[in-house]
């Protein structure tokens, strides 16, 4: 399903999602979740289960775990707090998707200003960007706790675009992500959504609103180039 926003001024600002887009961080999230579960005498989650729960940030992650495993909702805040104490250090199992660094280098060289807009809290986001060597690319990082609202609300994407100098009345730029949260936020922010198909989406590609999709980062620079006006 394609939207009708098909142009952007060049080199336009580019805002990237993090988990499931630039970085496969589910193994670290799973390890930290399973430590909290083990501490509470509860069985571990599989990687596939964790993929299904990522996208909405930490509070949503634990709401989904509680619902799926029949745990007590009263323990939500306690699980979230225990998870957060581990999140910043949980970077050792995270890996960049192939071609990410090269694509960012190409886009930065072409003059695109780059930002991150993630539902991951800011400090864990900064930690994994440092660990994977990506931190130098981004002028702005908006985390899940940077604003009072998270994606799918458009405000974090709009804040990232504004910080890169985009005109709020005619938002110019592209949002690149992997999930339904990302697609909805981009649509509501009024910018084209580029869908990376290899992340943690829950729907088939054809059921997600997107301008274009890609499965390999080596194709991203040319897709961005095509979106000229």
Least Å distance, CB 119 to ligand PGA, is: 4
Q: Is 229 annotated as a binding residue?
A: no
E-state strands within the chain: 14-16, 23-24, 95-96, 114-117, 140-142, 174-177, 193-196, 212-214
Q: Which of 8, 14, 19, 220 binds ligand PGA (CB under 6 A)?
A: 19
Residue 155 binds ligand PGA, judged by CB under 6 A: no
Residue 33's SS3 state is: helix
Residue 61 binds ligand PGA, judged by CB under 6 A: yes
Residue 154 binds ligand PGA, judged by CB under 6 A: no
Estimate the crossing angle of helix 180-189 against helix 155-163, to 10 degrees.
60
Task: At 18, list the tokens.
Answer: 């993090």
Residue 20 binds ligand PGA, judged by CB under 6 A: yes
Nearest partner of 202 among 31, 50, 34, judged by Cα: 50
Residue 33 binds ligand PGA, judged by CB under 6 A: no
Catalytic site residues? 17
Residue 180 binds ligand PGA, judged by CB under 6 A: no
Least Å distance, CB 129 to ligand PGA, is: 11
Q: How far is CA 43 from the centre of its chain?
A: 27
Neighbour order of strands in the sheet with 174-177: 140-142, 114-117, 14-16, 174-177, 193-196, 212-214
Q: Which of 55, 154, 173, 221 binds ligand PGA (CB under 6 A)?
A: 55
Give yes or no for a contact between 18 and 95, defined as CB atoms under 8 angstroms apart.
no
Stretch that binds ligand PGA, among 50-58, 71-79, 85-93, 215-223 (CB under 6 A): 50-58
Task: At 108, list the tokens.
Answer: 């930065």
Q: Is 3 annotated as a binding residue?
A: no
- Residues between 87 and 146 that touch ligand PGA (CB under 6 A): 118-120
Residue 192 binds ligand PGA, judged by CB under 6 A: no
Q: Is 28 annotated as a binding residue?
A: no
Provide the annotated binding site for Mg(2+): 17, 19, 178
Q: Give contact residues for ligand PGA (rule: CB under 6 A).
A: 17-20, 54-57, 61, 118-120, 179
């Amino acid at each position: 399903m394609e939207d009708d926003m098909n142009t952007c001024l060049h080199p336009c600002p580019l805002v990237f999602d993090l988990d499931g887009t630039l970085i496969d961080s589910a193994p670290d999230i799973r390890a930290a979740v399973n430590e909290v579960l083990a501490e509470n005498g509860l069985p571990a989650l599989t990687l596939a289960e964790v993929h299904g729960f990522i996208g909405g940030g930490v509070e949503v992650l634990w709401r989904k775990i509680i619902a799926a495993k029949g745990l007590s909702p009263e323990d939500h805040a306690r699980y979230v707090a225990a998870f957060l104490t581990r999140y910043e250090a949980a970077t050792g199992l995270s890996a960049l998707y192939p071609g990410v660094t090269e694509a960012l280098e190409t886009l930065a060289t072409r003059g695109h200003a780059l930002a991150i807009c993630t539902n991951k809290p800011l400090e864990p986001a900064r930690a994994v960007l440092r660990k994977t060597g990506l931190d130098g690319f981004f002028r702005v990082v908006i985390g899940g706790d940077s604003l009072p609202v998270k994606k799918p609300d458009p405000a974090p994407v709009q804040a990232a675009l504004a910080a890169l100098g985009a005109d709020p009345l005619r938002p110019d730029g592209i949002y690149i992500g992997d999930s339904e949260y990302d697609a909805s936020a981009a649509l509501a922010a009024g910018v084209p959504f580029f869908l990376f198909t290899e992340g943690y989406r829950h729907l088939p590609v054809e059921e997600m609103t997107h301008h274009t999709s890609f499965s390999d980062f080596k194709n991203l620079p040319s897709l961005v180039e095509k979106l000229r006006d």
